[in-house]
Amino acid sequence: MLNRITIMGRLTRDPDKRTTASDISVVSFTVAVDRDYKQGDERVADFIPVTAWRGTADFIARNFTKGRMICVDGSLQTRNYEDKEGNKRTAFEIVAQNVYFADSKKSDGTVQTVQSYSAPNGGFTEVDPEQEGELPF
């Protein structure tokens, strides 16, 4: 099975960085991704929620702000919940594993050094086949 998604667009606001009770960094942000067509004279965009954890979250919080172009590589995650009226809802978000700068200049006109962040081991946990016990998934 494969769950992989890559998007490129602009941040709609500054990333919101938090820390869990166990001191793990997490950041949330939304990426506006243009569609290939216009409706009349206006561009059409999708607004996609993204979450990143640990080192990826720290990298995003340090280097990205509202309006910056970002390329996000990760997986699609769904969550089911009930809203305030008791209706069943489904939320979709991308969990970022790798992020890249997708613009070439900072807003002050200086050239941006190309940087990216990739989660160690692609975000996967290594499993020792010799170790007894349950699998971590």
Phi, psi (deg, nearest 5) at residue 123: 85, 0
- The amino acid sitting at 127 is V
Per-residue pLDDT at 38: 82
Per-residue pLDDT tens over the stretch 3-42:
999 999 999 999 999 999 999 999 999 999 999 888 888 8
Q: What is the pLDDT of residue 113?
A: 46
Residue 137 belongs to a domain: no
Q: How far apart are CA 110 and CA 96, in angstroms?
A: 27
Residue 115 lies in a domain: yes
Residue 128 maps to a domain: no
- CATH number of 65's domain: 2.40.50.140
- The residues of the chain scoring below 70 in pLDDT are 104-137
In DSSP terms, which residues pair with 81 in a beta bridge?
89
State the pLDDT at residue 129. Answer: 47
pLDDT at 64: 94
Model's pTM, two decimal places?
A: 0.72
Is 131 part of any domain? no
Instruction: Assess contact for 57 and 82: CB atoms under 8 A.
Output: no
Q: Identify which of 28, 27, 34 has the alpha carbon closest to the alpha carbon of residue 10.
A: 34
The secondary structure of 19-34, three-state, reads ECCCCCEEEEEEEEEE
The number of distinct structural domains making up the chain is 1
Which residues span the domain enclosing 34?
Answer: 5-123
| Helix-, strand-, coil-residue percentages of the chain, each rounded to 5 | 10, 50, 40
| Burial group, residue 54, by CB count within 10 angstroms (0-12, 13-18, 19+) | middle
Tell me what pLDDT residue 43 has.
86
